[in-house]
Homo-oligomer: A and B are copies of this chain.
Amino acid sequence: MNTVSTGFSGPSVCRIAGVTYRQLDYWARTNLVTPSVTAAQGSGSKRVYSYADLIEVRVIKSLLDAGVALPRARQAVNCLRNQIGGDLKSVSLVLSGSNSVLAYSDGEIIDLLKGGHGVFNVISMDSVTADIDTSLAQEVETTENRRLAMA
């Protein structure tokens, strides 16, 4: 099932992040989120996603759930990609117009709101990583149950 050792398969990512396979596939084809461990190589091959990919997928899903359209999510992910691997604790991703910034405190966010003009999109990375981690634990659990059932 390849859930943790080398990375995550497409369907695994779908279950963990809560998106449909059709969405994940579309995002891979349009270069929104590509499997950074192993790309697909024709029918029957397997995409393998990294944990960072998983985060990105979840961020996009959160944005979609909040009513943010895909092109905008694209921008958010681009900004995030430069930062990922770094510390995501207590970080918020703030989009204002065509600008993308990372904020490390509520005060920073307020400053951005005051200085800016128009609409701001704010994504708390804490909740994203938290959601992913719990879903991931659940996925591992049910996968092991399946192994038991198979044995």
Contact = CB atoms under 8 A, between A and B. Distances in A.
A92 B120 CA distance: 10
B113 A122 contact: yes
Contacts of A67: 68-69, 71-73, 75, 95, 98, 121
Interface stretch (A14-22, A42-50, A58-66, A133-141): A58-66
B123 A66 contact: no
B113 A109 contact: yes
A119 B66 contact: yes
Contacts of A127: 117-118
Contacts of A121: 66-68, 119-122
A119 B67 CA distance: 9
A37 interface: no
Contacts of A73: 67
Contact of A65 (B66, B75, B98, B124): B98
A114 interface: yes
A113 B107 CA distance: 11
A110 interface: yes
Interface of A: 62-63, 65-69, 71-73, 75, 92, 95, 97-98, 106, 109-110, 113-114, 116-124, 127-128
